[in-house]
């Protein structure tokens, strides 16, 4: 079996893609899997690190605010289409999977022209532009939310949920064991702050205001700043880390052991990307969600509202985060019954084994 997986740009696209690839390998250890991503984007590092081969295309997204810059974008798209033809000719995949992002557009478009069956995986409650353009000729579309037929043909759309990183899905450490493994005092509640792999400016700026009240309330903090904001955040936090110690405060650009983080967290502060939402649902972590306003069609707010409307998370708008974050976290820390309620509600929304369900759809369109 030869499977081509295309897309990327952010962890929200890359982690589901890797989860699908790993699920294919569990079914068929001899399967050949090739990734296609965008040159200069994070998938060009993360995919090889996970043990898979990747080809980069010089594709870029359209600049809606400065349309005059799109002449270069069109030239890159044309070049990417030509390279995509060569990739298909050399690799000869049985099927192509698109997870969204720049690179999946030219790659899957060329596959559809050649009659190669394609599967789309849409993570968000509001479909991305690339997937909407490819949907008509896709043989299968896997989604995580109800009502996605308003974007995609109903006859090819299946609700599977979003793939969750396998190590998170199978993690069985207790909260005490996870905190100890991360280097925190297991007797104290742990607040985890994440803004995605690149970081979230608003969350980081808000944490600079909230960090002292949270520490003084007796909690520990693990703060993932993202690589774009690491220097500024570390400069601010280093004196505090020296004062409170590593068992109370850790600040770093990126956390690799998210399986332990989800098991050890008593409260999580996060953006509302689709992959993060799915991981929160599966692990039942009480979360304060701060949806990014800088995404297409405000889809993160829709993701967060789907939880907040069911008492399955607390939502704070980006514009209110600096004023409200500290209070929201402290209220959850003080109210254990509220945390238990949120945890139970969010776990009830989980769709486990999404990666396996997507591979079921993939094998179906290959065999068909």
DSSP secondary structure string, 99-134?
Answer: -SSTTHHHHHHHHHHTT--EEEE--SSS--HHHHHH
- For residues 322 and 186, membership in a common domain is answered with yes
Confidence of residue 296 (pLDDT cuts 50, 70, 90): confident
What is the H or E stretch that residue 137 is in? none
Helix (H, G, I), strand (E, B) or coil at 25: helix
With beta carbons less than 8 A apart as the criterion, state whether 107 and 96 touch.
Answer: yes
Structure-token match 């005059």, residue found: 68
> How many residues in total does the chain contain?
368
Token pair of 300 as six digits: 């993160």
- For residues 114 and 238, membership in a common domain is answered with no
Average of per-residue pLDDT values in the chain: 91
Domain residue limits at 284: 167-347
- For residues 200 and 117, membership in a common domain is answered with no
Write the CATH number for 176.
3.40.50.2000
Confidence of residue 48 (pLDDT cuts 50, 70, 90): very high
- For residues 190 and 315, membership in a common domain is answered with yes
- For residues 203 and 342, membership in a common domain is answered with yes
**pLDDT above 80 for 70:** no
- Given this model, what pLDDT does residue 36 score? 93
Output the pTM of the full model.
0.85
Confidence of residue 297 (pLDDT cuts 50, 70, 90): confident
- The per-residue pLDDT for range 246-286, each reduced to its tens digit, is 999 999 999 989 999 999 999 999 999 888 999 999 999 99
- Given this model, what pLDDT does residue 113 score? 95
- For residues 131 and 180, membership in a common domain is answered with no
- For residues 253 and 171, membership in a common domain is answered with yes
- DSSP character for 173? -
Among 195-209, 277-291, 303-317, 346-360, the least confident range: 195-209
Q: Which runs of consecutive H residues, i.e. helices, occur in the chain?
A: 11-27, 43-49, 70-91, 104-113, 129-134, 166-170, 175-182, 201-216, 230-244, 258-264, 274-283, 299-308, 321-334, 336-347, 354-367
- For residues 228 and 157, membership in a common domain is answered with no
- For residues 227 and 321, membership in a common domain is answered with yes
- For residues 195 and 290, membership in a common domain is answered with yes
Partners of 32 in the β-ladder = 2
- For residues 134 and 216, membership in a common domain is answered with no
- For residues 137 and 209, membership in a common domain is answered with no
- DSSP character for 311? T
- Given this model, what pLDDT does residue 275 score? 87
- Given this model, what pLDDT does residue 200 score? 87
**How many domains is the chain built from?**
2
Token pair of 277 as six digits: 């939402």
Among 14-28, 72-86, 100-114, 171-185, the least confident range: 72-86
- Given this model, what pLDDT does residue 57 score? 84
Among 112-121, 123-132, 170-179, 194-203, the least confident range: 194-203
Question: What percent of the chain is modeled with pLDDT above 90?
Answer: 73
- Given this model, what pLDDT does residue 62 score? 62
Confidence of residue 197 (pLDDT cuts 50, 70, 90): low
């Amino acid at each position: 079996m030869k499977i081509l997986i295309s897309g990327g740009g952010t962890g929200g696209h890359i982690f589901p893609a890797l989860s699908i690839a790993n699920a294919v390998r569990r079914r068929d250890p001899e399967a050949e899997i090739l990734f296609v991503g965008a040159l200069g984007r994070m998938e060009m590092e993360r995919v090889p690190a996970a043990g898979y081969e990747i080809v980069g295309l010089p594709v870029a997204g359209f600049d809606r605010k400065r349309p005059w810059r799109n002449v270069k974008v069109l030239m890159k798209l044309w070049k990417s289409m030509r390279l995509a033809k060569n990739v298909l000719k050399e690799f000869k995949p049985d099927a192509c999977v698109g997870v969204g992002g720049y690179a999946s557009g030219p790659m899957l478009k060329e596959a559809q022209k050649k009659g190669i069956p394609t599967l789309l995986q849409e993570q968000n409650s509001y479909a991305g532009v690339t997937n909407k353009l490819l949907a008509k000729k896709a043989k299968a579309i896997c989604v995580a939310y109800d009502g996605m037929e308003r974007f995609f043909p109903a006859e090819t759309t299946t609700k599977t949920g979003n793939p969750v990183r396998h190590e998170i899905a199978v993690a069985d450490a207790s909260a005490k064991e996870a905190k100890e493994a991360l280097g925190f005092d297991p007797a104290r509640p742990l607040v985890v702050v994440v803004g995605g792999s690149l970081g979230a400016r608003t969350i980081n700026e808000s944490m600079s205001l909230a960090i002292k009240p949270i520490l003084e309330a007796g909690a520990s903090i693990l703060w993932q700043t993202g690589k774009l904001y690491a220097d500024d955040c570390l400069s601010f936090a280093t004196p505090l880390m020296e004062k409170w110690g590593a068992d109370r405060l850790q600040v770093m650009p990126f956390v690799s052991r998210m399986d332990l983080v989800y098991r050890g967290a008593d409260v999580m502060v996060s953006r509302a990307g689709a992959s993060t939402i799915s991981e929160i649902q599966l692990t039942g972590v009480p979360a304060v969600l701060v949806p990014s306003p800088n995404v297409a069609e405000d889809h993160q707010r829709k993701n967060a509202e789907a939880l907040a409307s069911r008492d399955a998370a607390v939502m704070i708008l980006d514009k209110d985060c600096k004023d409200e974050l500290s209070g929201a976290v402290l209220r959850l820390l003080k109210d254990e019954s509220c945390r238990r309620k949120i945890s139970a509600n969010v776990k009830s929304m989980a769709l486990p084994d999404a990666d396996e369900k997507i591979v079921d759809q993939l094998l179906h369109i290959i065999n068909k």
